[in-house]
Structure 1
């Protein structure tokens, strides 16, 4: 039983100088390491701009493809990478330098996050416009390039935090249910992209999940949508799930219980991402978890990890700190 964060944290001004951003990122790292000593994660500060967001962060790992930033968002190019892609890579490298400096005493698991292939395909454009999602060959090529980049990223993180017991890679797929349900808008905004059928969706995830496993890390998949496809994620080889209890439908309970019984990790979102009118106590959070486990017929175990409901980028700094304190204290109650 432990606690961690989903990934993003508040802070980071896209108009601030690099020195100010560096100081703010170091503060985020110290906060995560201080509040989540048993299972820290690499913080993300998407407020610093496109290169620090979920899509830009993942593209920073992709060296096989040329990428550029357009007014409409990230786009693949037919040639080399643009200046914004290079800046995203540089920013990730500096963030890892800061994390390495402060995390030398970490001996437990360490978690990093990466945007998954389907959310990436739904947010990145082809060279001539429209989403990568619209082209079978382009989405396969992007998924394969991402898998190669993440494998190198795992090796880099392991080198930087050599005493970590394991590296956990959280694959973020917030758009996957929309991809499966044909709800991703086309570039014109008047139509929707055709549905991706489960076998193809699973295959792309298997490519990334397999690369993570082959690199010696533990792949888990995060989706905080109400229609999270639990069985598809587990079938693709994920060795853990990250879900938000507040929106998790009862139809997913059996799959979640099966994951815990199989010894897989369950990162369970149990604290609001934005400050509520009345904040829960750590004991109330623990009691909520116990009620959920009771419905599943399970007891608290080592595979259960408490988290905020989702990323904390939109939270106030005070609530972000309190949210991490709550999940850590609640996990100690449940021990």
Structure 2
């Protein structure tokens, strides 16, 4: 079992955090530091990767535009700086390295069309965003591999908004109504755009969903090789679905937080035991993460949480 972070971290000291995750974690990752501004947050990072689509920041959030706006150019510049730091701090590194990107459904639920309302409301626009994102992610994988040639890359696709999209719970611009629910075949098609692009670039696609009701069967079918989730959010009634995807070859990455490594390890062991699997069936395939991103934590506390996770995997 290995340990990693979800992605977001507190503060603005990227270099210090990169050094920490490379030194302390068996699966290091490129951190996201949203305290540096909108271009450094989850959606801003994805906007920076869009290929052939312009965007800019409006009072209501990111909006598609005819050409790249100042905020999108800043987001791209910030990402380039982050990769410079990653390259400098991983000289001689060999092994798995994780990078994160916002998934297509969370992205279209967060972004607006040029004339307002969410991209989610326009079938053509959301398909175009998914394709643009997939192309941008593939190029991003190539760039990271060029900078860290010894790394085997894992791309974590963050989809915290997917459940709300599937259930028709994304509010319209007025806030009065809700967008129509997206059916599983449509959701699958957009997710497959991204997983196919990740695989085509030679990386492993993993999905993270820090929300209740993770549609594990849908995500498994869309081509993800592992599913990262909040362990405390999994009801007993969903155990059969998790057991089925694990048996089918999809790895499970539980997210949990505890006061000491021993308690954390017992929590993970109890979950897999509840699925009906002995340690030999899962321990070598599992990555332990915090319960969710750590951007809202005190920097020292965030590092302590990651360190406890790393300690738990060594027990």
Question: What CA deviation, in whole Å up to 9, does each residue of 1:8-67 have, x standing for no partner?
Answer: 00013xxxxxxxxxxx1111111211221x210000001111100111100101131111
Which residue is equivalent to 1:251?
237
Describe the SS at the equivalent of 1:143: helix
Q: Does 1:326 align with 2:308?
A: yes
Q: 1:181 aligned to 2:147?
A: no
Q: Is the 8 A contact 2:217 2:245 kept in 1?
A: no
SS in 1 for 2:116: coil
Residue deviations 1:225-265 (CA, integer Å, cap 9, x gap): 11111111001111110001011122332232233334433
Aligned residues, how many? 312
1:308 maps to 2:290: yes
In 2, the alpha carbon distance for the partners of 1:315 and 1:120 equals 24
TM-score of the superposition, structure 2-length normalised? 0.96
Unpaired runs of at least 5, structure 2: none
Aligned to 1:18: none
Aligned alpha-carbon RMSD (Å): 1.1
Describe how 1:92-103 pairs up with structure 2 within 5 A.
92-103=79-90
Counterpart of 1:238 in 2: which secondary structure? coil
Structure 1 residue 294 displacement after superposition: 1.2
Query: What corresponds to 1:225 in structure 2?
Result: 211
2:274 pairs with 1:295: yes
Per the alignment, residue 11 of structure 1 pairs with 11
Question: Which residue of 191, 198, 204 corresponds with 1:212?
Answer: 198
State the SS of the aligned residue for 1:64: coil
CA contact (8 A) 1:240 1:259 kept: no
Contact 1:180–1:196 (CA<8 Å) still a contact in 2? Answer: yes
Q: Does 1:61 align with 2:43?
A: no
Change (3 A) 1:207 1:162: same
Q: Which residue of 2 aligns with 1:281?
A: 260
Identify the residue that residue 163 of structure 1 maps to in structure 2.
150
* Residue ranges of structure 1 left out of the alignment (5+ in a row): 13-23, 272-278
Q: Secondary structure at the match of 1:99?
A: helix
SS at match of 1:75: strand
User: Partner of 1:274 in structure 2?
Assistant: none
Per the TM alignment, residue 297 of structure 1 is displaced from its structure 2 partner at its CA by 1.8
Matched residues in 2 for 1:41 and 1:259: separation?
25
Within the candidate set 41, 50, 54, 2:29 is matched to 41
Distance in 2 between residues matched to 1:260 and 1:109, nearest whole Å: 21
Contact 2:96 2:154 in 1 (8 A): yes
* 1:42-121 → structure 2 map (5 Å cutoff): 42-77=30-65, 79-121=66-108
CA distance in 1, matches of 2:99, 2:80: 13
Counterpart secondary structure, 1:112: strand
Partner of 1:15: none
CA distance in 2, matches of 1:71, 1:117: 22
Q: Secondary structure of 1:60's partner?
A: helix
Cα pair 1:260 1:304 within 8 Å, conserved: no
The offset of 1:124, in angstroms, is: 0.4
Q: Distance in 1 between matches of 2:237 and 2:142?
A: 37
